[in-house]
């Protein structure tokens, strides 16, 4: 059933865009009610506005903590127009019908972010954060959403454009379906807000929520028959400069690529395929790093996601353009390089801001629920030399590099590195020895000499067999977490054959 908006209650923290809506409502003859700063804002536009306290007969009290929490306000929102008793009581107590509620919430998360970790020990910061816990706002939003059969609720400034469209195209009338859709969004907004507050008070058992205020529909999911939606702010982490619409699989690989490249300080280029690293190298220039990374596995690079932590110049762009790839992520593109790369209209070109990645938790759906865990941060917990000799300086550099690479491979994972180039990798295998065999096969496929290479394993060696096989191929230095009840088997073999081995104490399973 269509409903005509005749009255509106507006109480917003952010006034951006509210001038247009206030003028539209006034032009439609809608009676406006408001509070505090919003009322002043509307009046300054030259638009009549009735203060809420004239309805409640109470001023804003307790430092603004109480101004809308009153039966007249909530009666006007919750009163059912089709229920005779509700209508009778509203008339008896002079409660006006409210047909539109526009309310946003105090900036709790923004305030929390402003103070950061220091807030835990700062009394004044804590007080400021607490004051941004909205009470009246969520209450009005929930009440209006509950009564969507009779009124429209707008709970986020991101929806102002939709409201403007309704006011323009439908002259202030709304359908039941439209009101229900806005109500659904309103409940999501309040849910997200409440979870953020919960996580502030319970950081050790923080809940996760989807930021439904930034929802982006995708063409399809992992496969064409699967529907998919992205929730979040893509533009905060990267900017798309060129190319087709980013797909579900693109996003998964882009995230893996950005998570990987942010680990490296040296000039580094990497190639990602199905979230696994198939080529990576650190060199003095981006062009050289690209050439060496590609040489690690030119076959798997086809159709991959490319990422680097520097600028793409003309020579590098020409070299990259020789192969087919889906996505290229860089810090910057020189103008002539960009002209070369954008010749293929579907190539996705992104500039990334990896330092702006915020989530410290990972979320995964399983069975009828969700798993959450902290991000896997860091390279190693300790550096414990346990082999038959100390590592050399060049081995230490390669071992650190290899350990980071293995961290970004699906388990079971083995990474073979030589001169900061991935020369062989095994990933996603059901046994560690299978992962090793796969990595050695890769190295042989592209004719790499493994003498002087190092090996990283994402988890401990349960037996000495991996060390023995790798040693036979010319590998003399290993890095692994340690922690097996049979660590001594691998250690003894290294001692006997003067091989270097480092225990990190930090496992990097990735499933």
456, 415 in Cβ contact below 8 A? yes
- Main-chain dihedrals φ then ψ at residue 182, nearest 5 degrees: -65, -35
Considering 70, 146, 157, 216, which one is annotated as catalytic?
Answer: 146
Sequence-ordered strand ranges (E) for 176-335: 215-217, 229-231, 238-242, 268-273, 276-282, 304-308, 311-312, 325-330, 332-333
Please, which residues have CB within 8 angstroms of residue 223's CB and are 6 or more apart in sequence? none
Q: Is 146 a catalytic residue?
A: yes
Considering 6, 70, 242, 274, which one is annotated as catalytic?
Answer: 274
Burial of 299 (0-12, 13-18, 19+ CB in 10 A): exposed
Q: For residues 255 and 362, give the distance between their C-alpha atoms in angstroms, rounded to a whole number.
A: 12
Angle at 63 between CA 61 and CA 65, to 5 degrees: 70
Q: For residues 385 and 494, give the distance between their C-alpha atoms in angstroms, rounded to a whole number.
A: 11
Q: For residues 216 and 232, give the distance between their C-alpha atoms in angstroms, rounded to a whole number.
A: 8
70, 63 in Cβ contact below 8 A? no
Angle at 171 between CA 165 and CA 175, to 5 degrees: 75
Q: Is 407 a catalytic residue?
A: no
Q: For residues 297 and 437, give the distance between their C-alpha atoms in angstroms, rounded to a whole number.
A: 16
- How many C-alpha atoms does 37 have within 13 Å on its Cβ side? 7
DSSP one-letter code for 236: G
Residues taking part in catalysis:
146, 274
């Amino acid at each position: 059933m269509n409903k005509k908006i005749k009255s509106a209650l507006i109480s917003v923290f952010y006034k951006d865009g509210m001038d247009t809506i206030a003028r539209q409502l006034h032009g439609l003859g809608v009676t406006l009610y408001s509070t505090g700063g919003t009322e002043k804002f509307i009046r300054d536009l030259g638009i009549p506005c009735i203060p809420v306290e004239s309805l409640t007969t109470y001023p804003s009290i307790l430092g603004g903590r109480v101004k809308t929490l009153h039966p007249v306000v909530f009666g006007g929102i919750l009163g059912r127009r089709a229920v005779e008793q509700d209508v009778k009581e509203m008339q008896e107590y002079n409660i006006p019908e409210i047909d539109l509620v526009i309310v946003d919430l105090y900036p709790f998360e923004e305030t929390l972010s402003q103070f950061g970790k220091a807030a835990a020990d700062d009394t004044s910061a804590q007080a400021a954060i607490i004051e941004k816990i909205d009470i009246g706002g969520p209450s009005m939003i929930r009440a209006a959403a509950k009564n969507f059969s009779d009124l429209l609720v707008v709970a986020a400034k991101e929806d102002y454009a939709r409201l403007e469209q309704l006011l323009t195209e439908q002259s202030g009338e709304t359908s039941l379906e439209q009101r229900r859709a806005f109500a659904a969004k309103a409940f999501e907004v309040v849910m997200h807000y409440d979870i953020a507050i919960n996580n502030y008070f319970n950081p050790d058992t923080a809940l996760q929520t989807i930021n439904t205020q930034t929802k982006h529909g995708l063409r399809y999911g992992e496969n064409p028959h699967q529907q998919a939606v992205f929730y979040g702010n893509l533009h905060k982490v990267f900017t798309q400069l060129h190319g087709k619409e980013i797909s579900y699989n693109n996003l998964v690989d882009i995230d893996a690529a950005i998570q990987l490249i942010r680990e490296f300080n040296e000039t580094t280029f990497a190639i990602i395929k199905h979230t696994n690293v198939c080529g990576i190298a650190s060199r003095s220039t981006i062009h050289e790093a690209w050439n060496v990374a590609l040489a690690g596995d030119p076959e798997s690079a086809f159709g991959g996601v490319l990422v680097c932590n520097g600028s793409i110049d003309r020579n590098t762009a020409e070299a990259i353009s020789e192969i087919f790839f889906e996505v290229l992520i860089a810090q910057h593109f020189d103008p002539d390089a960009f002209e070369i790369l954008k010749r293929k209209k579907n190539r996705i070109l992104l500039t990334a801001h990896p330092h702006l990645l915020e989530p410290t938790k990972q979320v995964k759906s399983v069975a009828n629920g969700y798993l959450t865990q902290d991000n896997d941060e860091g390279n190693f917990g300790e550096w414990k030399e346990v082999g038959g000799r100390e590592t050399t300086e060049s081995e230490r550099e390669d071992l650190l590099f290899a350990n980071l690479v293995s961290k970004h491979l699906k388990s079971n994972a083995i990474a073979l590195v030589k001169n900061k180039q991935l020369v062989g990798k095994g990933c996603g295998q059901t046994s560690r020895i299978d992962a090793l065999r796969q990595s050695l096969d890769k190295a042989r496929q592209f004719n790499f000499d493994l003498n002087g290479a190092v090996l990283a394993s994402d988890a401990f060696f349960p037996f000495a067999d991996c060390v023995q096989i790798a040693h036979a191929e010319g590998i003399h230095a290993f890095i692994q977490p340690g922690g097996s009840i049979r660590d001594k088997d691998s250690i003894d073999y290294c001692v006997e054959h003067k091989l270097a081995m480092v225990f990190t104490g930090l496992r990097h399973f990735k499933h």
